[in-house]
Amino acid sequence: MALKVLSALDNARIQLYHFKAIIIAGMGLFTDAYDLFCIQPVMILIGRVYYEHGADKYRAPPDVVSAMVAIALMGTAIGQVVFGWLGDRVGRRRVYGIALMIMVLSSFGCGFSFCKERGCVLASLGLFRFALGLGIGGDYPLSAVIMSELANKMTRGAFIAAVFSMQGFGILAASTVTMVVCAIFDRTSKILPKDPTPLEPDIAWRVILMVGAIPAALTFYWRMMMPETARYTALVEQNVNQAARDMQKVLEVPMRELIDQNPVHQNPQTYPLFSKQFFHRHGRDLLSCSVTWFLLDIVFYSSNLFQSQIYEPYLMDKEHTNAYKEAFEAAKLQAIIAACSTIPGYWFAVWFIDIIGRVRIQAMGFLCMALVYLAIGIPYDIYWKKSKNQGFMVLYGLTFFFANFGPNTTTFIVPAELFPARFRTTCNGISGAAGKLGAIIGSVGFLWASHKNDKSRSGSPGRGVKEHDDYNGYPDAIGMTASLVLLGGVCLVGMVVTLLFTRETMGRSLEENENDHDDDDEPRELRFGRYHSGTRILIASCCPNLR
d(CA 18, CA 160): 10
pLDDT tens sequence for the chain (547 residues): 567 788 888 888 888 888 988 999 999 899 989 988 888 889 888 888 888 766 567 778 878 888 888 899 999 999 999 999 999 999 998 899 899 999 999 999 998 877 778 888 999 999 999 999 999 999 999 999 999 998 888 999 999 999 999 999 999 999 999 999 999 998 888 776 666 667 788 889 999 999 989 988 888 888 888 888 988 988 888 888 888 888 877 777 666 666 665 555 555 567 888 889 999 999 999 999 999 999 999 998 887 655 655 666 656 566 667 788 888 888 888 898 899 999 999 999 999 999 999 999 999 999 999 999 999 888 877 776 666 667 778 888 899 999 999 999 999 999 999 999 999 999 999 999 999 999 998 888 766 665 565 554 434 444 444 444 445 555 555 677 888 889 999 999 999 999 999 999 998 888 888 776 554 444 434 344 444 444 454 444 444 444 3
Grouping H, G, I as helix, E, B as strand and the rest as coil, residue 475 is strand
Question: CA-CA distances (angstroms) from residue 192 to 47, 57, 201, 263, 318?
Answer: 17, 16, 13, 75, 12
Contact call for residues 294 and 435 (beta carbons, < 8 A): yes
Q: Compute and round to an integer the Cα radius of gyration of the chain.
A: 24
Question: CA-CA distances (angstroms) from residue 19 to 71, 240, 337?
Answer: 34, 25, 27
Would you put residue 395 in left (φ > 0), alpha (ψ -120 to 50) or beta? alpha
pTM: 0.86
Q: Which CATH class is domain 1-256+277-451+477-518?
A: mainly alpha
d(CA 31, CA 33): 5
pLDDT value of position 238: 86
| Count of C-beta atoms within a 10 Å radius of residue 68 | 19
Contacts of 405 (CB under 8 A, 6+ apart): 344, 345, 346, 348, 349, 352, 361, 365
Question: CA-CA distances (angstroms) from residue 42 to 92, 118, 202, 215, 523?
Answer: 33, 14, 10, 19, 58
Strand partners, 470: 475
DSSP 477: -
